[in-house]
Amino acid sequence: MSALAAVAVVESPSSEPAAIAVDGLTTSIRIAGNWYDAVRDVSFTVSRRETLALVGESGCGKSLTALSVMGLLPAGVGRISSGRIVVDGVDMTAATEAGRQAMRGDRIGMIFQEPMTSLNPVLPVGFQIAEALIEHRGMNRRAAQKRALELMELVRIPAAGQRLDAYPHQFSGGMRQRVMIAIALACSPKVLIADEPTTALDVTIQAQVLALLADLQAREGLAVLLITHNLGVVASVADRVMVMYGGDVVESGPVKAFFRRPTHPYSEALLAAMPRVDRPSEALAPIPGQVPTLPDMPSGCRYQSRCPLRIEKCAERPPLNPLPGAPEHRVRCWVRAP
């Protein structure tokens, strides 16, 4: 019996099911013996050839959501308390660890945040790309190396044949990121999670990596979950956006609607703090304070301690409500979307 036989397969009533569907995901983190909800009741879907961007400050729950989807939460420290994660028709939350291992790198791939620490420094990059093919496709070493070379050419690594046996330290930051993309795409996954794929890259290389991802998405039909704090990247590549704060989704909707009408006070604050070429740097408005630690997180609206619009009712957690006349644009705020 294969490892995937241990995974519950979910039949979709639609002929075009979402490549990934997350419903009511709550992830808890253990601190000093107590469990705290670090991600609360998060739900979203991503279809093929669609990009959903998760945005927010560091510590808002973006990467933790991705690790929950991948089943990579550290044992004893993190756990999924409730919710359901369905990837390509397979219920990941009902899977055994062997089943999740069979899914990772096969039906769902991930580009991790820092390629230099994600790649093994003592193994050639060609070996690291081929490893997934040997594990999930049962290829022999020769066939896997040949496919690894094709993948390096696909992600436009110059002189790929000469660099197949090179080590990560012999590549630039942008080239290492391309190697990470090749590893993530090796087994032609249906879903790709890209966690800050342009972090620490200069502007020119950022643009090249984003263009490469867009090209590969169109070619392979990928559903992309893009995690970023860069709203400029969101505006240029995403179809929909989901703003997170303190583990809560505070606003979600189509990208054009979001930038045309940012509604949650936190969304407004993020946009006001973003540098723009059409206004002086003095016009930037930093967000006062910082994200509370989990033990100090308020039980109601988690943004209330930093919000200029706070009212007494913010002590209760607001629902994620659609805006009038815009059912796809949803906001979690008692003031703006009561």
For residue 168, how many other CB atoms are within 10 A of its CB?
21
Are 184 and 163 in the same domain? Answer: yes
Regarding whether 170 and 95 lie in a shared domain, the answer is: yes
Same domain, 149 and 258: no
Residues 231 and 293 in one domain: no
Domain check: are 149 and 292 in the same one? no
Domain count, the chain: 2
CB 152 within 8 A of CB 146: no
Encode pLDDT of 218-234 as tens digits: 988 999 999 998 898 89
Question: What's the pTM value of the predicted model, to 2 decimals?
Answer: 0.89
Q: Are residues 144 and 290 in the same domain?
A: no
Predicted local distance difference test score (pLDDT) of residue 14 = 39
DSSP secondary structure string for all residues of 297-331: --SS-TTGGG-TT--GGGGSPPP-EEETTEEEEEE
Whether residue 27 is found in the same domain as residue 170:
yes
Tokens of 328: 């796809």
Neighbours of 29 (CB within 10 A): 18
So what's the pLDDT on residue 295?
94
pLDDT, position 246? 95
- % of the chain residues with pLDDT over 90: 70
Task: Out of 182, 213, 238, pick the residue that ends a domain.
Answer: 238
> Quick one: pLDDT at residue 11?
39
Q: Which range has the worst mean pLDDT, 8-22, 214-228, 311-325?
A: 8-22
Q: Do 196 and 74 share a structural domain?
A: yes
Which of the four pLDDT bands, split at 50, 70 and 90, describes residue 59? confident
- Which structural domain, as residue segments, surrounds residue 248? 239-338
Q: Are residues 292 and 334 in the same domain?
A: yes
The pLDDT value recorded for residue 281 is 64
The last residue of one of the domains, among 238, 256, 287, is 238
Residues 222 and 252 in one domain: no
